[in-house]
Amino acid sequence: MSLTILFDLDGTLIDSTDAIVESFGVSFEHFGQNAPKREEITQHIGHPLDDMFRSLGIEEASVDAHVARYREHYQKVSKAKTTLLPNAKESILLASRYAKLGVVTTKTASFSKVLLEHLGLMEYFEVLIGREDVQNPKPHPEPVIKALIKLKADKNCCYLIGDTCMDILAAKSAGIKAIAVSSGYASIETLNSCSGEKIFCDTLDAVEYIIKDN
């Protein structure tokens, strides 16, 4: 089986927005700060947690403490407050019939595995690359390349499906095909600016296109 499909997680396969926003609020309030508005948080989802806290105004010396408090709360609520996006399971079941599958995310791999197991999808993925597995997260190509090496994949038959420009840029930098979906956190205008190709509404549309393309 030469075809390989990699998936981003948040905004591509799952919706954990409520858990993320709540955990940021708990972290900020724990340190006596006003929590950012929901839209201020969601515009940064997809970036590593430490970068998100910096973007939301946390000084460097306090970032690690904020991340730790976030993760403590997120671990408690993530399963209850995370759902599959529409057609996500169908897309994975279909893709698994034709390709080797992997996940490449800026979310912590340990949390990602727990969520995917809870949602009944982990068994379909041969590799999962999370934040702690790399030095340079997306949009750097390192996590994509690491996944391809683990899968012994042929770059000529590899795709990455994601909902942000970080996904698209990481795929292109790694030398594989990038497929954008509008199911997540980036606007269609933003995705157009980095993808330059057709944008699909969800992962099922994207997987069906990939299968036809091969």
As annotated, the active-site residues are 8
**HSE-CB of 182 using CA atoms within 13 angstroms:** 11
- First-to-last alpha carbon distance for the chain, in angstroms, is 12
Q: CA-to-CA distance for 138 and 131, rounded, in angstroms?
A: 9
- Answer positive or negative: Cα dihedral of 94, 112, 191, 144: negative
Strand ranges inside the chain, DSSP E: 4-7, 14-15, 83-84, 100-104, 127-129, 158-162, 177-181, 199-200
Q: CA-to-CA distance for 209 and 203, rounded, in angstroms?
A: 10
Q: CA-to-CA distance for 211 and 2, rounded, in angstroms?
A: 12
Residues in the chain, total: 214
Asked if 139 and 166 count as a contact pair (C-beta separation under 8 A), the reply is: yes
Cis peptide before 36 (omega within 30 of 0): no
